[in-house]
Structures are given as C-alpha cells and as structure tokens.
Chain A
Amino acid sequence: MMKKTSIGIVTIASMLALSACGGSKNDDAAGASSSASLTASSAAASPASASASADGSSAIRAGTAQMLDQTKQLQDLIGKSDADGVKTLGKTINETWLSFENAVRQTFPLEYTDVEKYEMPIFSASAYDKVDFDALKANASGLADALTKLQNAKPSTASSSELLKEAVKKYQQYVVDQTNKLTDQTQAFVDAVKAGNIDAAKAEYVKARVYYETIEPIAESFGELDPKIDARLADVDDPSAWTGFHEIEKALWVDHSLAGQDKYADQLITDVKALQAEVQKLELEPKTVVAGAMELLNEAATSKITGEEELYSHIDLVDLAANVDGSKTVYLSIIPALNESNVELADKLDEAFQEMEKALSGFVKDGQYVAYTELTTEQIRDISDRLAALSELMSQTAAIL
C-alpha cells in the first residue's frame, strides 16, 4: 500500500510582494496586485419627498387626509373580500405615504412610527399571491387610527434625552409584547408536539420562531436561556445535552417522528416562560437597544443568509425577515433621536428598510416565505447585498447616544 503524505504549502503573500519591490522595469509595475470587479447597482428611484419646512405641514395635512380616505376605501374592499382591489389599493396607499412620509418623520416622529407599523404590512401584502383578510383588516383599522392621531398631532417639544428615554420605553414594551406572544405560540407548538401531531407542530413551529427572532439579542442577554432555547446541534459541546426549538425541528423534518420529544417540549416551554419572566424585569439602556438592532442584522447576515439557522425546516427566510423586523422596530423607536442628530441617516435607513422589505415580500408564496433551498445563489446574493447596505447604515446609528 502506498503511503500518502499530504503537504500543506503556506505562501506568505506579503513576502512575495516585498521581493517584488526590487523594482521591475516599469516604474509603476507593482508587486502585489489585486483586481476587484464590481457590478454597479442602478440608483433606486426615490420618491420625491416633501421637506419639513412650512410647506411640510400642508403636505402632511393633505397627505394624511388623502391616505385616510384611501384607507377607508381599503376597509370597504376588505369587507367585500376583493383580493385584486386590496392589492392595487395597497400599492396606491404606499405611494401616497412615500410622497410625504419624510416630512412626517421629521415633524411627528412618534406618530410616524405608528403609521409605518400598519402601512408596511398592507403594502407587503399587495405583493403576496394570497391575501390574509383577517390580518389586513386589523392593519387597516390600526392604520386608520394612526392617521387620525397624525391629523391631530402637535410637534414634539421634548429634549433629545427625553426622546431617547421615550424610545427605550417604547422598545421595551415591544420586547414584552413579543415575548408574551412567543410564550403563547410556543405553548401551541409544545401542545402539538405532545399530541404527536407532526403537521400541526410544523405549522406552529414556524409561527413561534418569528417571535423569537425579532428579539433574539435580548434573549441572548440572558446567558443560559438562549442556548437552551435556540442552540443548533453544531453549537453544543455535548450533543446529548442538546435542547430547544432546533432539537424538535430535527425530529419533525428529519426523523419525521415525535417519539421521545415530550421531555424536550416540556423543557422548551419551561425555558421560554423563564425568559418571559426575565423580560418583565428588564431595564433596557439606550446603548443595548441600539446595539441590539445591529446584532439582529448581523444575525441575519451570518446564520440566516447561509441557511445554517433552520438546517432542517429551511425556514431561514422567516427568521431573516423577523430579524429585519426586530431591527426596524428599533429604528422606528429611535427616529425622534435620529432626527435631532442625523436626519440624512434616517432618510437612508428608511429607504434601505423599504428596499429590503420589498425584496423579501417577493419571496412569499401562499402566505409563507419560500424555503431557503428554493432560492438561487443570485437571489441569496441580492438579499445579502441589501442586508449589507442596511447594516452599514445601522452601524452608524449609535452616534446618537
């Protein structure tokens, strides 16, 4: 038998380069060369934005009235279950909003956040093949309320430290809400697992993951709990001690059997409830909130975009969208502070989030994100590029602190 030797050759590139600098014939001939070729992205057409000047307030009044009108029409169409109608109107409403949202963001940041919260899902739904009328109805009614509030809004006079305090309070409430929903949804998941119902468990799994992924950095701040709830097999030192969502995910999608999963289900709901209890006691700092927004995008850009997070169910896009959503919630709550220090950054972030959400909504089929395995390399790359642009902007937000 032949003996095999494998040889690793380490080349120190800078040494090669240094030996080159002895000066080759042409004075600009250089040692180390690197060519990079790039594909330019064409500039996204950005809608004309109203400035926050004196015309700003009349633009806001007119825009709000028009949008409220359109929202009432939308509610009519929802009542008639007119799928094509709501899709078309969803796009129109978005156009109206884009025409004056920058002015709103600068003058009425708190009211802006509410409108944005309900408007975006309505617009996203216009790109879906199936319309979820119940969800749309709730969003339309939320939007109508938010617009009414905007009509009666007074410009804020709070100082920037008060604004930041307000932002943190608002975000903290969001975290509590999401954790409560996570607990309820995990309970539904655990119940399905314990009932041995694989199909139901799969459906509940997807729903529960969303809530976890929107607040992931917060969950990670409670040392022990995150690994117990969210570890992937590759993360754990001792595979036999592996617990949490992904352990059951594997049972559902790979083993196709829930035998022996009861104890994992029980452990999961115990851990999630412990998380819920911790979150109630949470006292967030502005720094943590802003850093969390960045961590969410980093999460999306590392484990989700590579398909490593949901290795068995391939619902990575669900997680990715939830990460983006969680990050956007931070952005929305810090807008008042951002307006004070860097309006331009707020404009750019707004556009980047819109672009991202628009891109993601293109991957919804039958009301669900398509499996990661269905994406082409080009599609993944497109999402990744958008995430990079968004992250780059988000990394600058900490300057408001």
Chain B
Amino acid sequence: MLKDWTRFCDLSAKGGTMSLGDNPLVPPTDTGETLELPPSRLTATLGFGPSFFLREGVDRFGIAPTMPLHLKDIPRMARENIDPGISGGDVCLQICADDQQVAFHAVRNLIRLSTGRASLKWMQEGFASGTAGQTPRNLFGFKDGTANQLHDSAQGHDEVVWAGNDEPSWMRGGSYMAYRKIQMKLESWDRTSLSDQEATFGRSKVSGAAFGAHAEFDKVDAAKLPERSHVRLAKESKQQIHRRAYSYTDKVDPRTGNVDAGLLFISYQRDPDRQFVPMLRLMQNNDALNAYVSHVASAMFACPAGLQPGQYFGQRILES
C-alpha cells in the first residue's frame, strides 16, 4: 500500500493521473476529476501513529524497535472533550493543495488504493487563506503562527522542527506532527467586545502586535500581557513549535443553531515531550481562550524525513 501511495503521490504532484480508459469492462483506475487541472502545489505528508509500532502491546509489523523516541498519544488534558472516533490512527496522510478538488482527488484515490489493506478511520477537511509574507488569520480573526518567524532559518528549523540524531535513523530529519481539532464557539466570540477579545489573546486584533509592542513581530514582553492570555502562556512555556494551522467549518448544531467550526491545530516539532505537551498542558489549565474553545480530537504522528528518488513511504521502517 505504501508503495502504491508513493507512486500515486509522485504522479499527482506532477499533475498526472492514473489510467482512465484502458479497458471499458473494468472500472477506470483513476477517478478522473483532476483531468485538465494543474497540480496546484499538491503535497502529501505521511505520518505514523504510536499504534503503528505497538497496538495494545502487540507489534503487528515487527517494527517496534524502530519506534521514535517521543512518539506517543498526547496525554489526557484538562477540559478536553476528545472523541476517540476522530482521533489517532496508525497512519496519517495530510494532503494539501491550492485547489480543494485536487486535494480531495488525491485523498479519494489514496483511500481506494488502501482498500483491503487499511481502513479509513477519520477524515477532516480544512482551509487556510493568507497574503504572501503575512501571517494567516484564524476564524477568531487573529493572526495564527506569528512566532514561526522566530525560527525561520535553516538553523532555526533544525532546533525546532527536525528530529535529531538520537532518533532511529529513518526519523532523523523527520518531524512530529501534533494534531488537535479545536472547536471554536464563534457565536459567543462574536458577541465579545474587541477589548476582551484582544485581552484573551494578548495581541491587537488588527496589527497582531502583542500588548506593549507596536508591530506584530516586535519582541514580546510577557509581563505586559494579561496573565491568562494565550500569547503570554505560550511565551511562558519558553518553547517553540512550528505552527501550520487550518480552519474548518461543518454542520449546524440543531439544538443551538450554532455552527460547528474551528481550528485544525497542527504543529511540527522535534520533541513533543519537551516542546508541545507542556505548552498544551499550560494552556488547557490556564488559557483565557478556553472559554471559547473545546478540543474535540487529538493525535500524534511521526513523519519520516523526505524521500529520496526511488524510495517509498515508510521503506526505512519496514525494511530496517
């Protein structure tokens, strides 16, 4: 399956499709909805969950010794409301493209290629929008990921994102993907005064500047931020993570008429035990934002380093 996936991803990233008309008696190999569409910067990121290596103590694929050092499910947090049905999993695929039809075409055909070999546990669609060179905003209207700029260099990425030489060889240069689906109570938020909204984050809504600063990327003085504000807590954790969030929208809650929408928090880091989990715990216990959000899904995956030509996803794990 991983070989088929790799071949398919190679093909689609170049804008190709699988065969559509080789034999009229059998179903077309490709589903066809991207014919005439450009590759739209399609990317595929693959990650392996803890259960891929060990599920309830069972090493199904004989690979437990190659388990990365920090790969485990995110522990229970206060105030979370996790639905196990949309959390975790053995393998995760994150498919991104500038065109949703291109992204979904890849998702759909990857699912088809997994038939009989893997079983689809959950699927989540999201979107992100921004102007080149500017930090994208989340559905609360605030900039999300300002601090990525702090490690925006090769050395910075080595320190924050890429897994190090203490890891099994396949994981070196890879990264841990932390995922939280965070429902945002948009209706309550939209009835909150601007000053309260800004105090909740600790930043100006329009400029993105932290309290006590003038511009978005000015140095933040945590002491000048409201005590339980989101940014202050992030700074107090003294850790950096690489944030790559998306927003999502879904159904209407028939009881309240509220829209189910929120943030697909995704962060990449080299050591979630040090960088991510303590930060999350600090937030879950203290963050003023908790009044407006609820974490409903959770997962941690280990994403191997990028492939060399001719390699397939997971090869260095399965053939180690």
* A interface list, Cβ under 8 A from B: 11, 13-14, 16-26, 28-42, 287, 352, 381, 385, 388-389, 392-393, 395-396, 398-399, 401
Out of A19, A352, A396, name the residue touching B116 (CB < 8 Å). Answer: A352
Chain A positions within 8 Å of B125 at CB level = 13, 32-34
A18 to B127, CA, bound (A): 10
Measured between C-beta atoms, what is the minimum distance from B27 to chain A in Å?
5
Chain B positions within 8 Å of A392 at CB level = 112, 115-116
A42 to B53, CA, bound (A): 12
Q: In the complex, which residues 105-162 of chain B have their Cβ closer than 8 Å to any Cβ of chain A?
A: 107, 110-112, 114-136, 145, 148
Chain B positions within 8 Å of A399 at CB level = 23, 25-26
Given A14-B100, A34-B95, are A395 and B89 also a contact pair (CB < 8 Å)? Answer: no
- The answer to the question of B73 belonging to the interface, with a C-beta cut-off of 8 Å to chain A, is no
Known contacts A14-B99, A23-B132, A39-B90; 12 additional CB pairs below 8 A are A18-B98, A22-B130, A30-B128, A31-B98, A31-B129, A33-B264, A35-B92, A35-B95, A38-B91, A38-B120, A385-B116, A385-B119
Out of A13, A28, A37, A287, name the residue touching B41 (CB < 8 Å). Answer: A28
Measured between C-beta atoms, what is the minimum distance from A83 to chain B in Å?
33
Out of B90, B114, B129, name the residue touching A19 (CB < 8 Å). Answer: B129
Given A35-B124, A37-B92, A39-B90, are A21 and B99 also a contact pair (CB < 8 Å)? Answer: yes
Measured between C-beta atoms, what is the minimum distance from A38 to chain B in Å?
4
Out of B92, B134, B249, name the residue touching A25 (CB < 8 Å). Answer: B134
* B interface list, Cβ under 8 A from A: 1, 23, 25-27, 40-43, 49, 51-52, 60-61, 88-104, 107, 110-112, 114-136, 145, 148, 179, 244, 246, 249, 264, 299
Chain A positions within 8 Å of B264 at CB level = 33, 35
Of residues B41, B91, B96, B112, which shows the largest number of chain A Cβ atoms within 10 Å of its Cβ? B96
Q: Judging by beta carbons under 8 Å apart, are B103 and A21 in contact? A: no
Given A28-B43, A32-B103, A401-B25, are A40 and B132 also a contact pair (CB < 8 Å)? Answer: no
Q: Judging by beta carbons under 8 Å apart, are B26 and A398 in contact? A: yes
Q: Judging by beta carbons under 8 Å apart, are A36 and B93 in contact? A: yes
Q: Judging by beta carbons under 8 Å apart, are A20 and B93 in contact? A: no
A36 to B104, CA, bound (A): 10
Which 7 interchain pairs have the tightest Cβ spacing?
A: A389-B116, A30-B96, A37-B89, A21-B98, A32-B100, A24-B130, A398-B25
